[in-house]
Structure 1
């Protein structure tokens, strides 16, 4: 194909205000991914958009197969799709159950 660019599993993005650290969940409008590298504000970094990651989660249990969302204000994975302040971005699907006392959720990223 003449118009093929890349698989898109990892893309180059520009770090937002405050920069990013490797392993951070990052949201650009509706594109959610995980920073593969550290970068200061305005620097390019690699954003993983495919894969399975452990990310910090909000309080509450997560069941296997549940849809998961990114609460960008709290910087946490949640099972709540929307709140009174707006919609949370789709982040992925839970690939492991996590009890309410567990600090992380294991999810497969989805676009």
Structure 2
């Protein structure tokens, strides 16, 4: 990324393309953020997409696994197992937010 100031510069055209295209920001919103904030938002978006792909693979695998079963397990058993996994993920996120608050970090939880 470079613009004017050498190796460490920012390619503002690429920044604008990424922020408006990938993140869906309006040009006015882009200029209210620093390049670092946009980079962090892009990283968050990419992590979210990665999780979505993993979720789709998880679903696809189970669809095929269930299609091969002669007798399906009870739906209640499957849902309870998944609910436990989701609850653990929510608990992990709550712990991360509490740690960030203790360290004095600002984030979307302050809004």
Q: TM-score, normalised by structure 1?
A: 0.19
Larger strand proportion of the pair: 1
Q: TM-score, normalised by structure 2?
A: 0.19
Higher relative CO (Cα under 8 Å, sequence separation at least 6) belongs to 1
